[in-house]
Amino acid sequence: MISFIVSIIILIVAYFVYGNIIERIFGIEKDRETPAISQRDDVDYMPLPTWKVFLIQFLNIAGLGPIFGAIAGAMYGPSAFLWIVFGCIFGGAVHDYFSGMLSLRHNGLSISEVVGIYLGPYIKQFMRLFTVVLLIFVGTVFLVGPAKIIDGMTDSMLGIGVWVSIILVYYVLSTLLPIDKLISKLYPVFGAAMLFMALGLLLVLFVGDYQIPEVIPANLVNMKHNAENTPIFPMLFVTIACGAISGFHATQSPLMSRCIHNETEGKKVFFGAMITEGIVALIWAAAAMTFFGNVDGLNVEMAANGNNAAWAANEISLNMLGKFGGVLAVLGIVAAPITSGDTAFRSARLILADTFKYDQKSILKRLYISIPLFVIAFVLTKVDFAIIWRYFAWSNQTLAMIVLWAITAFLIYTKKAYLVTFIPAVFMTMVCSLYILIAPEGFQLNNTISYVLSVIVTIIISVFFLLYVKRNKPKSE
């Protein structure tokens, strides 16, 4: 329990201490007009209250990540606490803050365009395709997944197809309508529900007879039953993404960079939402490690239920929070993925609009871009692309890696303290290269060979990056 409490305290302190350091490094300008004001179109660009922007950002980046990812990561043991804490502070919060603020500085541009400014046109073209494909996959999975859950809860009264159609209609509306019409009204409610559920679990952990394992040397071992095939490094660092660092966040931050009315709000919205998500992930990881008795019990139950994190989350909610927990579980397990799916499509629309410089004031122009996205997503619901989805975890962290390199380039070009992102970028490069070399969905190479190759790949990419930024400068700051 002591390690768990200390972990939460560290995250809170980090917001005020390291958050202020990162804010100073970026160099906010209080009197600088934000895109919400200068580019206002009352569709995507419009100032919203800070508390509302924070809750929307939190739900955008959270979804099921800090719940399902934390439960799966808890199977490794207390090592998960360390990754959540330090990954969140030095990786995720920094990644989210800079990606959001750089978008804000560049008139609310999508992350692919921002990356292109600092890493060049070739990377920009790659990022445009990479992020749109990634977002379509996210939207599709979060279209089918909730439909299956609801269908199961209702004893297949209507059928999965009907629920897919209903959710798709909502996705169309949330993608096309001005952000203050639907998203800004629903998200604060769902965001507050997710936070309330996490706080409820936290209270039960404190007052109940639960023994949370401590972060001590004896516990910092791989506690998964198939430890040899799932080494902590890099598997844990990809399993827990949203609670530590996630590239998907960089696709969502531009949505809120278009709604912030002053640069001083950036730390609260971007850095603060990530720290909050880290705390939520800690709570769910702790609950998973204790509810089933211990980490070994968690592994046994997960194996018996097909490693289904949704099942575990539902069991934890219903038993630790009672009937009211069941209601919150529905909000968390059903509403959370839906609220990630809709903004995935909205982000894809904005990326394509930025790519083709297509104005989005007219709803017809929004339809021209959105219809193909939904047609593709609907077709994908008919295809079993589970194998393709297995690459999402790696793709997600690869996106975070690229964004970290782009932020580092910005810091170097502007003569700022670039080590705050250079070190995380190198680390995530190592994680991503090692994962694809060693993972079942990757090359499945021998562990020793994979580690050696990943070091070589990381060194090559790091050297190439330093040579690139030495020779090039962006067209605009």
Helix, strand counts (H, E) of the chain: 22, 0
- Determine the distance from the C-alpha atom of residue 5 to the mean position of all C-alpha atoms in its chain, rounded to a whole number: 24
Task: Report the candidate in 253, 330, 263 with the shortest Cα–Cα distance to residue 61.
Answer: 253
* Helices (H), ranges, 381-418: 386-389, 392-413
Q: What's the number of domains the chain is made of?
A: 1
Asked if pLDDT for residue 365 goes beyond 50, the answer is yes
Judged by DSSP in three states, 442 sits in coil
Share of the chain above pLDDT 90, in %: 70
Angle between helices 447-471 and 392-413 (to 10 degrees): 30
- Is residue 441 within 8 Å of residue 392, measured between CB atoms? no
The average pLDDT across 282-309 equals 94
Could you tell me the pTM of the whole model?
0.94
Asked if the structure places residue 245 within a domain, the reply is: yes
CATH of the domain at 204: 1.10.4160
Amino acid sitting at position 86: F
- Computed over every residue of the chain, the mean pLDDT equals 91
Asked if the structure places residue 471 within a domain, the reply is: no
Asked if pLDDT for residue 477 goes beyond 50, the answer is no
Distance CA 434, CA 452 (A): 9
The average pLDDT across 215-227 equals 93
Distance CA 408, CA 243 (A): 22
Confidence tier at 475 by pLDDT (50, 70, 90): low
Asked if the structure places residue 121 within a domain, the reply is: yes
Task: Provide CB contacts within 8 A for 128, sequence distance 6+.
Answer: 112, 351, 355
The average pLDDT across 307-314 equals 83
The average pLDDT across 362-382 equals 89
Burial class (CB in 10 A: 0-12, 13-18, 19+), 413: middle
The average pLDDT across 44-67 equals 89
- Residue 474 is predicted with a pLDDT of 62
Distance CA 236, CA 135 (A): 23
Asked if the structure places residue 376 within a domain, the reply is: yes
Asked if the structure places residue 184 within a domain, the reply is: yes
> What range does the domain containing 32 cover?
2-390
For the stretch 431-462, pLDDT in tens is 999 999 999 888 999 999 999 999 999 999 99
Angstrom CA distances, 284 to 13, 291, 307, 444, stand at 20, 10, 16, 31
Asked if the structure places residue 161 within a domain, the reply is: yes
- Residue 473 is predicted with a pLDDT of 72
- Determine the distance from the C-alpha atom of residue 150 to the mean position of all C-alpha atoms in its chain, rounded to a whole number: 24
The b/e string for 58-94 (b: 16+ C-beta within 10 A; e otherwise) is: bbbbbbbbbbbbbbbbbbbbbbbbebbbbbbbbbbbb
- Residue 299 is predicted with a pLDDT of 96
Asked if the structure places residue 450 within a domain, the reply is: no
Asked if the structure places residue 428 within a domain, the reply is: no
| Range scoring the smallest mean pLDDT among 62-76, 146-160, 184-198, 256-270 | 146-160
Supply angle C-alpha 327, 280, 289, rounded to 5: 90
